[in-house]
Amino acid sequence: MAIIRPFKGLRPAQALAEKVAARPYDVLSAAEAKAESAGNPYAFYHVSKSEIDLPEGTDVYSQAVYDKASENLQRFIKEGTLFQDNTPCYYIYRLIMNDRTQTGLVCVSAVSDYNSGIIKKHEFTRPDKEKDRINNIRTTKAQTGNVFLAYNDVPEINSLTDHWVQEHAPAYDFTAADGIRHTIWVVDNPGSVQEITSLFEKKVPHTYIADGHHRAASAALVQQELAANGQLAHDAPANYFLTTIFPASQLVILDYNRLVKDLNGLSKASLLSALEYDFTVENIGHLPQQPTMLHEFSMYLEGNWYRLVAMEGTYTTDPIGILDVTILSNNILDKLLGIKDQRTDKRIDFVGGIRGLQELVRRVDSGEMKVAFALYPVTIQQLFDIADSGNVMPPKSTWFEPKLRDGLVSHLL
């Protein structure tokens, strides 16, 4: 059963919460983080994207970046921008986006659950991304990036969190510039804390990583490193990692789209001809069109959009084979464009559906990329089925919105 624990969260002074809150470090570039934090010395980007405080052109994976993150984090603590709770707490985190509400529990989850498979995965991780987070955690001695977990609904847990929300004032409540409302309550009553811990141990056999595979893997590797060096007591904070756990019924997955830098030596005409072996291909003009059903794709190439529908026989019906990301990977990215490993190939990039199809158009029209593919999103049940089967999806298969904000609750090691 799932092991979760309360912890002494590091969080902002109430008056500064909105200024501190930052989008997750891995959903925006350094340039975007620098623009968003302009004139705001409290922005958590100074920790999560600390290259914004270093000379332009600094290698984002250099030790100087991690040292700057640690320096800025300690400065925030010293100046009172951030403070640590005196007793272990849980935190209830509610997000509202487009009138849709999801409410999760901020806690720390056991690294041992990650290692044993109680926390289930659905993606492989990229070595370069793992190393980045390992260096960040090791240098800052903190987990500042949240791992987003999901679980099959438990009515008793939902009732408990709903009751706490109704009976207590929030610690933070603000609407960010993108229109998403963020509200956090601190659960500090010892009886309620124990009840939450017990409910998860009795009622939740598994949790599933929805978003944050690299953050989870890196936390586990840091814990392994510290344990090997004899630096960990049984109850050491590094035996746990920062998570926020949501009931599955409240979650929605958006599409996760692909961009490729070249056509692997093919011309436009030869690519379109080759696609017709596995797909029906229709030129749909200059206006973007989102795929409307499974096994349908939208492709943007040289100013035109094309509708691609996978033919029967190009995919299997097992939990992995039936996924659109698998169909695209096997029949286009690998077979035609020569991309064998999406985790390491530098010719491919990924764009979350929240950015819209215009982002695909922009990057292809700029010449940065040659072709883009928009996909129909997977479902939360497909994600659970794959994780339960012990399989993994191709990388970057799911995009969840709304995103948790970095800086509102961190876990010190």
pLDDT of residue 389: 84
Q: Virtual CA dihedral for 4, 101, 208, 198, nearest 10 degrees?
A: 30
**pLDDT given at position 390:** 83
The whole model's pTM is what?
Answer: 0.83
What pLDDT, in 10s, does the model give residues 289-342? 999 999 999 999 999 999 999 998 888 888 888 889 999 999 999 999 999 988
- 238 pLDDT more than 80: yes
Q: Domain 256-376 class?
A: alpha beta
Bridge partners (DSSP) listed for residue 410: 10
CB distance 131 to 65 below 8 Å: no
Cα–Cα distance for residue pair 387/123, rounded to 1 Å = 9
List the chain domain ranges: 4-253+402-412, 256-376
Highest mean pLDDT among 98-102, 231-235, 404-408: 404-408
b/e burial code for range 222-243 (CB count within 10 A of at least 16 → b): bbeebeeeeebeeeebbbbbbb
Q: Where does the pLDDT of residue 212 fall: very low under 50, low under 70, confident under 90, or very high at 90 and above?
A: confident
CB 245 within 8 A of CB 107: yes
